[in-house]
Amino acid sequence: MAAKTILIGDDDAGIRQLVTVFLEPFGYPASSVCTGAEARTYCEHTSPRPQLILLDVMMPVMHGAAFRSARQLRCLLLGRAVVVLAAAENDQTQALLPTADASLPKPIDFDALRTHVEQYCSQNRASGRWYAEASGA
Q: Where are the domains of the chain?
A: 6-134
Instruction: Give the residue-averaged pLDDT of 65-87.
Output: 74
pLDDT band at 72 (very low <50, low <70, confident <90, very high): low
Q: Let me know: does 36 contact 11? Beta carbons within 8 Å.
A: no
Residue closest to 26 by CA, chosen among 48, 2, 43, 9: 2
Q: Where are the alpha helices (DSSP H) in the chain?
A: 13-23, 36-45, 64-69, 71-76, 91-96, 110-117, 123-126, 129-134
> Which pLDDT value is given to residue 90?
56
pLDDT tens digit sequence for 87-119: 766 555 555 555 678 888 889 999 999 999 999
How crowded is the C-beta side of 122, counted as CA atoms within 13 Å?
9
Domain 6-134 has CATH 3.40.190.10: no
pLDDT of the residue at 131: 36
